[in-house]
Amino acid sequence: MSDRANTAKPPPPAAPSRRQRVTTLLAAALLLTATWAAYSPALRAGFIWDDGVFLTTNPHIQSNTGPWHFWKLWGPDRPSDYFPLTSSMLWMEWHWLWGDSPTGYHSVNVALHTISALLLWAVLRKLGLPGVWAWLGAMLFALHPVNVESVAWITERKNTLSMPLLLASLWCWLRSEEADGQGAAARRWYTGALGLFVLSLLAKTAGVTLPLTLLTITAWRRGRMTRRDIRRAAPFFLASAVLGVITVWYQFHIASGGLQVRSDGALSRLAIAGRAVLFYLGNILWPMNLCAAYPQWPAAAVDTAAAWAPLAVLAAACITLAVLRRRKWARVTLTGIAVFVVMLLPVLGFINISYMYYTLVADRWQYVAIPVPLALLAAGAEMLARHGRTARTVIWCAAAAAVLWLGGLTWRYAHAYHDSETFWRTVLATNPDSWQANNNLGTELVRHQNFSEAIPYLQRAVHIDLLKSEPHHIHIDLLKSEPYYNLGVAYAAIGDRASALHWYTRTLRVSPQNSLALAAAGTLLMDMDRNIEALPYLEKAVAVAPDSARTQFNLGSVLSLMGQLNRAVECFHKALTLDPDYLLAHNNLGVALAQLGRIDEAAAQFREALRIDPHNRDAIENLTNAELAKIRHAVPTTKPTTP
């Protein structure tokens, strides 16, 4: 490497004419209009998949303890991943703007994506691509259906927020290089680039490899890399290292709960990484079978040539381009491939990501990398268009057709994100053997009380689960028990108690600590007058989840039926401590107290029940009998309410 920088400076660009400014504004308006039109179905969509965990039921977002709560969002105990800037933005939107209305969140996602497209246009201009062709690259990015997963899914606000910050950082870096030698101006642009990069990492660390990209672009533009370039990039590398380590820690200790996500070795991961790069390129060039949950790939058979074929294709392409590097198109393409792979590095499987338990590839993982091949396509179109008017006409016709095609695909695919049921049905249309999709669709149907329709999907999820051999771990056992438990719920709802009990007990074989299954099995046995069998299930359910008022109530009810009145009273009191307005607990506590001869206390509980529901027949009858028994000095006849 040489310390001698290239001192040749490009002449300052001429100020744009009025006509150029108007043309630029019209082009920007067209890009904006096309983007919002393509994503218009997403604006009418609701919450899906992880939107509950990420937003609507996230206690860190729901907390309304004041603006100081922002700082809590930046602490070390936030679930899944560390993206405090995104969490802070969502907190403000939830409490100050949209609340539980999904339209606002979808609109912000589309707006951020549009801003990213405009910034990409500006970056490509800085990199030397003529304006109209840079605009084409930005339009391809704005309308490409691979990006639908990031834009139409509220949970992927992480992507749509981090991307414009990342592109703005790159633009400022390029401006700082243009201002090199101008002192304060260069420092301002450089400081802005570093600050925006840190903010991007705080939104999501997907762009953690940007420093490598900066050096790659610098080497391509100047023909070499100097020690000064490395020194300039050093603070970026430091920020990447710090935020990268935090993200890896979160992924291992929180997102995956310490689960061994992958067990294949380094060679298998290297081979699969090559396959993943070609997979992502294939989806960019032919986005016809996109899926939010792709089939899981097995470990690569590293002793076969087929396993190494994708990597060999990539290596051969790079070697060929290196040999032809004297040609501009070869240098540009080689640089583009290098940047594309660098931006994909965090998601190629060398570092475990919790979602890789289900699949090793996902469209949202290439959101920060997809601008590179699209920019190459635009640059290639510009080179071909230089061959004369006919070539230019053909290229622009092809470009217009591509834009319309991509926009149509995006518009159609965005409909899949309308609601959870539509979303999972769309996944199953492409990947029918997805355990996740079968389970989640079945769960969604149970939630909407479509029990008979839910059963086949849940049974399919169980079947797929039994075909897999996974390491034993409480985190994944709780997850895998979902279809078993939901089958119990579905069969109980349609009146098939025997099948329901079978699936509840199967749930407990998979996940012995599943409090929902324990409580459901105990309650079902109690309804079947099998109180002795119900008791151990409910006792264990209370031990696992002592903060469940309903489980405390159910245990108290079965203890009361078995004559263990003092223990029953204790359980009812615990239920009322957790939920003071639990009408059934007040009534059944009164019944137990009455049977113990504590008539005044029993009458007080019946009055509490009537305070909550003045027309409750059981409470009215029990209070009347208690007052009569008090006059007659007798034990009242009272009636408990069954769970």
223 versus 51: which is more confidently predicted? 51
Is pLDDT of 620 > 80? yes
Integer distance in angstroms from the first to the last C-alpha of the chain? 77
Burial of 97 (0-12, 13-18, 19+ CB in 10 A): exposed
Alpha-carbon separation of residue 191 from 173, 194, 557, 609 (angstroms): 9, 5, 67, 65
Number of H helices, E strands in the chain: 31, 0
Of 3.40.640.10, 1.25.40.10, 1.10.10.10, 3.40.1280.10, the CATH number of 423-576 is 1.25.40.10
Backbone angles phi, psi at 101, to 5 degrees: -90, 115
**By CB neighbour count within 10 A (0-12 exposed, 13-18 middle, 19+ buried), where does 143 fall?**
buried
What pLDDT sits at residue 4? 40
Q: How would you write 360-377 as a 3-class SS string?
A: CCCHHHHCCCCHHHHHHH
Distance (Å, whole) CA 543 – CA 524: 19
Burial (CB < 10 A; 0-12, 13-18, 19+), residue 120, is: buried
Least Cα distance to 47 among 104, 91, 97, 113 occurs for 104
Distance CA 261, CA 618 (A): 53
Cβ proximity of 555 and 538 under 8 Å? yes
Instruction: Enter the pTM of the model.
Output: 0.88
Nearest-angstrom CA–CA distance, 278 and 271: 11
Helices 371-385 and 266-285 sit at what angle, rounded to 10 degrees? 50
Residue 391 has pLDDT above 80, yes or no: yes
Minimal CA–CA distance to 505: which of 471, 540, 472?
540
Three-state SS for 362? coil
pLDDT digits 0-9 by tens, 560-574:
989 999 999 999 999
Q: pLDDT band at residue 101, thresholds of 50, 70 and 90? A: very high
CA 1-212-205 angle, 5° bins: 160
Q: Give tens-digit pLDDT for 102-142.
A: 999 999 999 999 999 999 999 999 999 999 999 999 999 99
Task: Tell me whether residue 362 is exposed, middle or buried, using C-beta atoms within 10 angstroms of its C-beta: 0 to 12, 13 to 18, 19 or more.
Answer: buried
Phi, psi of 508, rounded to the nearest 5 degrees: -75, -20
Structure tokens at 294: 């792709």
Residue 523, pLDDT > 80, answer: yes
Specify whether the CB–CB gap between 89 and 133 falls below 8 A: no
CA within 13 Å, CB half, 12: 6
Give the DSSP per-residue string, 53-86: IIIIT-HHHH--S-TTHHHHTTSTT-SSS--HHH
Q: How many residues does the chain have?
A: 643
The least confident of 181-190, 290-299, 397-406, 509-518 is 181-190
Is the pLDDT reported for residue 77 higher than 70?
no
For helices 18-38 and 389-414, angle between their N-to-C axes, nearest 10 degrees: 40
Mean pLDDT, the chain, whole residue set: 89
User: In Å, how far from its chain's centre is CA 421?
Assistant: 17
Measure the CA–CA gap between 413 and 152, rounded to whole angstroms.
Answer: 9
Res 470: pLDDT: 47
Tens digit of each residue's pLDDT (9 = 90 or more) over 190-205: 999 999 999 999 999 9
What is the DSSP secondary-structure string of 227-257? HHHHHHHHHHHHHHHHHHHHHHHHIIIIIST
* DSSP for 479-509, written as a single string: HHTHHHHHHHHHHHHTT-HHHHHHHHHHHHH
**Cβ atoms of 538 and 558 closer than 8 Å:** yes
Question: Is a pLDDT exceeding 80 seen at residue 610?
Answer: yes
Which pLDDT belongs to residue 182? Answer: 65
Quickly count: other Cβ atoms within 10 Å of residue 244's Cβ.
Answer: 17
Token representation of residue 388: 């004369």
Q: 543: Cβ–Cβ under 8 A, 6 or more apart, which residues? A: none
Question: What is the per-residue pLDDT for 626?
Answer: 82
Residue 475's pLDDT band, with cuts at 50, 70 and 90, is: very low
Can you give the pLDDT at residue 6? Answer: 42
Residue 551 has pLDDT above 50, yes or no: yes
Q: Which residue has the higher pLDDT, 623 or 116?
A: 116
Q: How far is CA 8 from the centre of its chain?
A: 47
Among left, alpha and beta (phi > 0; psi -120 to 50; other), residue 582 is beta
- The residues, ordered by sequence, that sit 6+ positions from 470 with a Cβ below 8 Å of its Cβ are 476, 480
Mapped onto helix, strand or coil, the DSSP state of residue 423 is helix
CA 109 to each of CA 62, 93, 131, 162, 363: distance values in angstroms, whole numbers, following the listed order: 20, 12, 26, 11, 16
Per domain, the residue ranges of the chain are: 19-416, 423-576
- The mean per-residue pLDDT over the stretch 585-595 comes to 91
